[in-house]
Each structure stands twice: as C-alpha cells, then as structure tokens.
C-alpha cells in the first residue's frame, strides 16, 4: 500500500503575523501573538574539559528514560553514556567492537516499553538493554546490496517505533540526492527478517543538501553539506501514534506567499490534520551568504579538495549555494513525547536567542519561548528541553532546560 499526502490549500494571505490557514480541522486556531509565553531556565549542564568521566565527545542523538535518566550516543567512541537525572554518570553502554553489546557504527537509540534498543548500522544490528544498561540480546535485520551502486538500493533498517515495528528506507547517498537520482525519502515498515510490509508517504528531499564539486568534472564527486538556507521538508514519526508529521517549509518567494504547512498523516494514508500558517518573512542577506562562502573557502582550502585552490573552491560553492529571497520559516522541528510539536523559527527579538513556536498535538499554536541560538535541541520531554551545546573551544556539553509558563 502506498499512501499520499493531502496538500493544504493556500487561502488569501491577509494577515502579517503568524495565523493558521485551516486545511482539514474545523474552527480557528489562535494567532501566534495570542498564545501563552513560556520561559526556559537551564537547570543542568554536563561536560568537562579535564574530568575524563564527564568529558564528552560529539553527540547528536540521545534518549530519556521514564525516570529522567539521560542516554547520550557518542559515535567517536562507539558507546552510550548514562546520566542520572541529577547529572551523575551512572555507567556507559557498549564500546568499540563486534562482541555482544558492542558497536561498530552506532547511529540511533530508542525505547520499546521498558527495553532500550541501540542500532548499529554495521550489519543493521539492534542491541537491547535494560534501563540500567544490562545487555539482553540482539538481532540483525537482513538487507540486500543492489548490483548497480549507482541505482536506488533496496531498503535498510533505520530504527524501531514505540510498538517494536522496524522502520527503514532505501539508503539516500549524498551523490544520488545531489544528482537527482533520488528525489524522495520513502519510509517503509519492515519485519525483523527485512521484508517490507508497508510503504509510507514519500517525502521530497527538497533543497536541503549542498554539493560542492568541480562543475567541469562532476563525476569526481564532491563534498556534501547541509544548505545554509535549507527549506526542504522536515518530518518524523509521531511518538505516540502510527503517523508521520511533515513540515513543508519552502522559503517564500514574495511576502504574499509566506506560509508553512504542518500535516499529520496516518500510516493508512489518512490526513489527520493539515494546517497552514502565515508568517512575516525575513529577507536573506548577501553579506550572510558571502560569510558562508568565505568560511567554505577557509575550511576546504586548507584540505586542498580535488587539488583546487581556495578561490576555486569558493567559486564552486557559490554555484550551488541556494539563497532564496527570504529565509525559510522554520529551521528545526522536534516532536515531543507528549505529542506537541516544537519549531525553531530562527532569530528572535533577543540577541543570541532563537524564537520557538510550540504547537499542540493537533497542530495548533500553543506557546512561544526563547532558547539560546547555539543550542542543538535533541529531545523534548516536558517539562524539559535537552540539547547539546559547544563552548568557545568547541567542547560539547549536555544541557537541560526546564520550561514553565511565564507569570
């Protein structure tokens, strides 16, 4: 079965502030200026430059247990650190190796009931643990390598849903996305034996990837990065139901077209809701793009990519840099455990802070709050927001904020 997204119909854009455009739910949702104001206060910071027990390596994936225990995934070390709710290091899980409970290419983590699972992309092996880190067992999801590496490959496991269902997709290699061989991410449901049981709505990759390569020799490959002004769709599995949440955030080409759309689609293909929201678009600035290109020149020029000079690399990057007239309306989407949808709307009125909009489980504006712009928000488990943050020396920290309604 293949389901399809039902697009939101865009109505006349009459309001300048963020206001909903109803597309599948009755009634009117509140304007953004009418929602509650929340505050976020940092209550925990974990990390160190000199204590080996608390010196963290890079992490962009984590989980939180029912009691508030925090599990951070560190691919450089191939292990998971386990922190008590008060920040005390309890234990570590795994380590580099191919033995029981060890990892070669750890990628993600999650829960099925009270069992913690961790996926190793080397062999697509799921290892299972108790909340305390005791190894329970593992299983691998078989996969097939396509005979033509340039063609679309058979699906591989990406993780597990909360009910234990395996989800996967054909691997999206950067070169294939960049040259147009792959145009959509196609999530699939799979058995533990690797058989596809359902194909879910395809989601366009859009303009999210930046490919820097020699235009006269594209066959040599390139360097692939996230577009600084990425506006392709964002999506994730709903944490509490069999559905996908999809954010269509195409940057506006004019002030009259400033709308983004949030949709929730069930695995059966039903549109549970689809709301459009008007917003005040912020123009992109040429000096910001120039600064991005100068940074590419410095970073790639030091590496001597493809034998090119720094000036050549900057010119190649400029050819493929996507710079719309206005900034994308949303930078990051995080689905909270309680079903709320958290959207990073970018720079707010306070310097060094980003403005976040929180939608309820039906996609309606609920609250707004400010969070430090340098955070990478990884998990929202109300009343907490958990994120990684690098200091001025690029040392990573795990930080936790407690969110409360302003009084």
Q: Which of 130-134, 152-156, 360-364 has the lowest mean pLDDT?
A: 152-156
pLDDT, average across residues 79-90: 98
Contacts of 13 (CB under 8 A, 6+ apart): 256, 257, 258, 259, 278
Tell me the mean pLDDT in the region 371-398. 96
The conformation of residue 284, written as its DSSP 8-state character, comes to -
Neighbours of 2 (CB within 10 A): 10
pLDDT of residue 177: 86
Q: How confident is the model at residue 16 (pLDDT cuts 50, 70, 90)?
A: very low
CB 159 within 8 A of CB 174: no
The predicted-structure confidence for 137-192, as pLDDT tens digits, reads as follows 999 999 988 777 677 889 999 999 999 999 999 998 888 888 888 899 999 999 99
- Among 274, 233, 276, 278, residue whose Cα is nearest residue 255: 278
- Answer for the pair 346, 331: CB distance below 8 angstroms, yes or no: yes
309-337 average pLDDT score:
94
Instruction: Please tell me the predicted confidence (pLDDT) of residue 237.
Output: 97
Q: How crowded is residue 53: how many other Cβ atoms within 10 Å of its Cβ?
A: 9
- pLDDT band of 198, cuts 50, 70, 90: very high
pLDDT band at 336 (very low <50, low <70, confident <90, very high): very high
4, pLDDT greater than 60 = no
| Residue pLDDT, tens place only, 260-276 | 999 999 998 899 999 99
User: Which residues are 403's β-sheet partners?
Assistant: 40
CB count in 10 Å sphere of residue 178: 20
pLDDT tens-digit readout, 215-242: 887 777 778 889 999 999 999 999 989 9
Q: Average pLDDT for residues 32-40, to the nearest whole number?
A: 85
What pLDDT does residue 406 have? 81
Of 25, 45, 16, 28, which Cα lies nearest the Cα of 402? Answer: 45
In this predicted structure, the answer to whether residue 5 has a pLDDT above a threshold of 60 is no
Average pLDDT, the chain: 89
Residue 20 has pLDDT above 60, yes or no: no
Give the 3-state secondary structure of residue 290. Answer: helix
Q: Has residue 77 got a pLDDT over 90?
A: yes
pTM exceeds 0.85: yes
What token pair was written down for 229?
Answer: 């002004």
The secondary element (H helix, E strand) that includes residue 297 is helix 286-303
CATH of 20-284+324-405, one of 2.120.10.30, 2.60.40.10, 3.40.50.10190, 3.90.1260.10: 2.120.10.30
């Amino acid at each position: 079965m293949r389901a399809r997204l039902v697009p939101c119909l865009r109505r006349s854009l009459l309001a300048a502030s963020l206001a909903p455009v109803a597309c599948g739910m009755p009634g009117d949702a509140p304007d953004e200026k009418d929602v509650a104001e929340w505050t976020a206060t940092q209550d925990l910071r974990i990390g160190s430059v000199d204590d080996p027990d608390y010196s963290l390596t890079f992490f962009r994936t984590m989980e939180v247990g029912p009691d508030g225990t925090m599990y951070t995934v560190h691919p450089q070390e191939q292990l998971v650190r386990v922190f008590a709710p008060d920040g005390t290091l309890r234990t570590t899980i795994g380590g580099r190796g191919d033995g029981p409970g060890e990892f070669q290419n750890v990628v993600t983590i999650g829960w099925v009931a009270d069992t913690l699972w961790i996926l190793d992309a080397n062999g697509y092996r799921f290892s299972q643990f108790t909340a305390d880190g005791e190894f329970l067992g593992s299983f691998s999801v078989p996969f097939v390598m396509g005979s033509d590496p340039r063609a679309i490959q058979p699906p591989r496991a990406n993780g597990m849903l909360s009910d234990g269902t395996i989800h996967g997709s054909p691997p999206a290699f950067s070169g294939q996305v960049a040259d147009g061989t792959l145009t959509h991410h196609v999530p699939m449901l799979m058995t533990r034996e690797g058989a596809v049981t359902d194909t879910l709505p395809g989601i366009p990759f859009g303009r999210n990837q930046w490919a820097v390569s020699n235009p006269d020799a594209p066959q040599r490959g390139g360097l692939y990065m996230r577009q600084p002004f990425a506006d392709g769709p964002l999506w994730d599995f709903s944490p509490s139901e069999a559905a996908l949440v999809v954010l269509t955030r195409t940057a506006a080409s004019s002030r009259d077209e400033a709308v983004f759309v949030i949709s929730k689609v069930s695995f059966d293909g039903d549109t549970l809701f689809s709301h459009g929201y008007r917003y005040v678009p912020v123009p992109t600035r040429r000096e910001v793009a120039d600064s991005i290109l100068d940074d590419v020149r410095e970073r790639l020029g030091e590496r001597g990519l493809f034998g090119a000079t720094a000036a050549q690399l900057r010119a190649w990057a400029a050819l493929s840099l996507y710079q719309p007239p206005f900034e994308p309306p949303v930078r990051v989407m995080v689905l909270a455990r309680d079903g709320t949808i958290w959207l990073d709307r970018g720079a707010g009125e306070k310097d060094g802070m980003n403005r976040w909009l929180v939608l309820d489980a039906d996609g309606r504006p609920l609250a707004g709050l400010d969070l430090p712009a340098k955070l990478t928000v990884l998990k929202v488990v109300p009343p907490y927001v958990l994120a990684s943050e690098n200091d001025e020396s690029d040392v990573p920290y795990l930080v936790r904020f407690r969110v409360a309604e302003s009084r």
